[in-house]
Amino acid sequence: MLIALVLLPLGFLGWQGVQMLDSSDAMQRVRSEQLVAARLKNVDASIQAYLQQLALDWTSRLPGWPLQAEQLRERRSQEIRVRQLFLLDAGGRRTFPNGEMSQAERRFVERLQMVWDDPSILYATDDSQRLEEQRAVSSLVSRSKTADSPSGRHGWSVWHWGTGTQLLFWWQAPEGHTLGLEVESARIKSDLISLLPDDPAQGEGYSMRLKDSAGQIIYQWGRNAIGNEAPLSSTPLAYPLSSWSLEYFAEADVGVNSADFGLLILFLSLTLALIGMAIYLYREHTREMRLAAQRVAFVGQVSHELKTPLTNIRLYAEMLGDQLEDNPQQQRYLQVITNESQRLSRLIGNVLNFSREPKIHISPVAVDPLIRMIVDNFRPGFTAKGIQVALDLQADRLVETDPDQLEQILNNLLSNVEKYAAEGKAVDIASAVEGGMLVVRVRDHGAGIPPSERKQVFKPFYRINNRLTEGVSGTGIGLTIARQQAHRLGGDLLLSDARPGACFELRIPLTVTP
């Protein structure tokens, strides 16, 4: 019961919490997806801005360059982002490098053979280049994007060889000649690294990674540890570095955390409160039980001590009765003593029965005579209170059971009648054998037991709290013991409806198998 008391509300709360988290999760996911996309775009944009700045710088300076080999070499040695450069005349013929060449220049001429064969490959528009790209079988692929301006055309051309993506920047003067710059790709990478954020001392909960066309990491920043996990999101860079990509790493539910945490705390504190309450209730309950057990043990002890003197009283009262003259006055007094000491020993028997498990002694019992004898025992009391006894005994056979227990049950029932139902002025006692069971019914005509109390009357120390019990002493264990004993005999004690009054029905099997 207590466990259910704790678990039920927790289960409900948990379910509600999960529901709430689910919906906020979904919202958060959409929001974080947007955030991720924005961050990626932001980085891409700054890379684009860098390349545009580079192009702008060159287009503003290239027109001023002298075109003699020596000066071009001089420029090349100063341009920090240029590995090699070439000059094509208006007819598309290479005029630099040409003639006397250094080793590096010769290699450069070799690797750009495609350009010397067909310079239009540089200026080709996107569409035709794409076709070119599809047709290209070799790893040597180029693509260009062209921009026109009054000071000439310029654009990027992308090549793949050696250590990956290589950029060519070309500028065609209005006079027709073309200057081409082979960009130092390591320097571009280095510049981008300089441009991108450093690693902050405290991670912002996400990391990014810039990868080149071969899938090699160029740079990564953010949270220090990226394992082998797949990126949350990735995007290719814009042209001309479109074979490079940006990857975004983060724990999937970043941002939901704080809400999660709050809910978790709430849930935990509720759990704690409920468990605390349950523990309190449990302790209260066990304390009461302990007290009751102590009480019972004490009473049991006392009762046991009372048994011996009481036995002596009864013994000597009987001996006295035998020797007494026929003095009715004296006879009556002696009768009272005997009755009261019998009542006292029933009481003690009850208490002892409750406080310790009695042994059951099975023997053949003639039920009806037993009932008669018990009723006779009660007769003086009944007579005194004006209670008429109606007997209807039909169980005319031997029953295998414990006569002491059976007697005690009936004693209890009759004693209740005497105590609480005297105003009914009648008690009906019936016995019968029905369906292999011995049935004994004790029905009074008193005030009866309200339906709401019916279940409680069999509980120990429970006494119906109304005028019925007022002024009447009782231990509150009579019915409890009676029912326990009925159970021990393999049967049951039931309370059935009767108006007016109450009817207790004892059912026990005809043979008991202990």
Interface positions with another protein (CB under 8 A): 69, 73, 77-81, 83, 100-102, 104, 162-163, 184-187, 189-191, 193-194, 198-199, 201, 216-222, 224-226
CA dihedral sign, ordered 481, 485, 487, 488: positive
Question: Which residue number, 226 or 464, has a Cβ lying nearer to another protein?
Answer: 226
CB 156 within 8 A of CB 169: yes
Question: Which residue number, 205 or 386, has a Cβ lying nearer to another protein?
Answer: 205
Q: Cis link prior to 450 (omega < 30° from 0)?
A: no
Smallest separation, CB 268 to another protein (Å):
34
Smallest separation, CB 54 to another protein (Å):
13
Question: Which residue number, 189 or 346, has a Cβ lying nearer to another protein?
Answer: 189
CA-to-CA distance for 309 and 306, rounded, in angstroms?
6
Question: Which residue number, 160 or 189, has a Cβ lying nearer to another protein?
Answer: 189
CB 163 within 8 A of CB 180: no
With vertex at residue 304, the alpha carbon angle to CA 301 and CA 305, rounded to the nearest 5 degrees, is 90
Please name the residues in contact with 156: beta carbons below 8 A apart, sequence gap of 6 or more. 51, 55, 144, 145, 167, 168, 169, 239, 240
Q: Cis link prior to 328 (omega < 30° from 0)?
A: no
292 conformational bin, left if phi > 0, alpha if psi -120 to 50, beta if neither: alpha
Nearest alpha-carbon partner for 240 in 39, 54, 40? 54
Smallest separation, CB 90 to another protein (Å):
25
Residue with tokens 């992308």: 158
Smallest separation, CB 225 to another protein (Å):
7
Burial class (CB in 10 A: 0-12, 13-18, 19+), 156: buried
Smallest separation, CB 63 to another protein (Å):
22
Question: Which residue number, 211 or 488, has a Cβ lying nearer to another protein?
Answer: 211
44 conformational bin, left if phi > 0, alpha if psi -120 to 50, beta if neither: alpha
Question: Which residue number, 83 or 111, has a Cβ lying nearer to another protein?
Answer: 83
Smallest separation, CB 239 to another protein (Å):
22
Smallest separation, CB 125 to another protein (Å):
31
CA-to-CA distance for 359 and 353, rounded, in angstroms?
10
Question: Which residue number, 69 or 432, has a Cβ lying nearer to another protein?
Answer: 69
Question: Which residue number, 204 or 305, has a Cβ lying nearer to another protein?
Answer: 204
Smallest separation, CB 142 to another protein (Å):
20
